[in-house]
Amino acid sequence: MTRPSALRFWLAIGWLALVAGWAWWEYSHFSGLYRWLAEWQIAKWGGYEQVWTALVPAFILAIPAFRVLRERELLNQASLIAGDDPVPILHRVRSGVLICGVILALVAGGSYLYSQTLPDPSDPPATVDLAALGGAAPPTGSAIFARAVPDTDRALQMDEAFRSRSADIDHQTIYVPVVAEGAAKDAPVRFFIDRASYAFADSGEAPRTNIFLADHMQGVLVENGLPADVVAAFEKQGVATASPHYLMTTNSVGGRQTYYIVTALGGFIAVILFLLAAIQSASIARARRRTA
């Protein structure tokens, strides 16, 4: 078996990065193959699996890169069995792990730093008077609506189930269009508000459907804050969404949530890779002592 070149190795790593970026883009924008698969599942079963819809196509596309990495690993093992000096092999493995860890750490750090430029949910709320605002852009961040009417007749309910060994939880989010007092309801909707509810499936309860409080429209106002699949669902039921639109979310971190997720995942994987690099360093030291 011919040893894969360093170029093939880094091309495989680059391909994995491209596939991961593509999968994340389609998931976050509800577009392309991800959207087609989601809509096919919705038409067939009435819902879709968000995680598996993104992961399965990404895994299939990543198979060629996995094969290159597997070939490299098998050749490394064969070299060690043949009695070759293990130090160069361990050096290559450690270098690859370190580079990937540094890249992920930079992504995690950049995501966190960017999240801090977004509005802080803990700031005192600004009053957004929809009737007086007209077509002007509202201030984003912590806010409270005034002279606003929730259009509950056009509310959209999104359900999602979380299954684990300890509990099965049904999560429901209701997205409600909000219009200014006296405004026509046939124009594209600029403002929305969300409410979330949870219920344990084994308790026999159902998520509450009366969780929307018309007299308590306070939260974090996020520009273009509706998830892409929610925008598509509104369009399917005939509710046009303005561009830009604004979501008053009750999520405690507001528009920072996606970036916090990227930070947490990237940082977690980077820490694992750095630990693996440390283990490789210890293995290199032991190998050098044995050959000394």
Q: Provide the 3-class DSSP secondary structure of residue 281.
A: helix
Does 1 reside within a domain?
no
- The number of angstroms, rounded, from the C-alpha of 249 to the middle of its chain's C-alpha atoms is 17
Q: Average per-residue pLDDT in the chain?
A: 78
The answer on 139 and 242 residing in a single domain is yes
For residues 239 and 166, state if they share a domain: yes
Amino acid at 74: L
Asked whether residue 22 falls in the same domain as residue 110, the answer is: yes
pLDDT at 109: 93
Residue 229 in domain: yes
69 lies in the same domain as 84? yes
The pLDDT score that the predictor gives to residue 271 is 93
Domain around 112: 6-117+258-291
Looking at the fold, whether 189 and 241 belong to one and the same domain comes out as yes
Kindly state whether residues 26 and 84 are assigned to the same domain: yes
| Residue 76 confidence (pLDDT) | 67
Instruction: Give a yes or no: residue 177 inside a domain.
Output: yes
Confidence of residue 147 (pLDDT cuts 50, 70, 90): confident
- What is the C-alpha separation between 197 and 208, in angstroms, rounded? 6
pTM summary value: 0.58
Q: Does 159 reside within a domain?
A: yes
Structure-block tokens of residue 106: 């930079």
Instruction: Check whether residue 96 and residue 157 sit in a common domain.
Output: no
pLDDT above 90 as % of the chain: 8
Are both 99 and 153 inside the same structural domain?
no
Q: Is 160 a member of any domain?
A: yes
Q: How many domains does the chain have?
A: 2
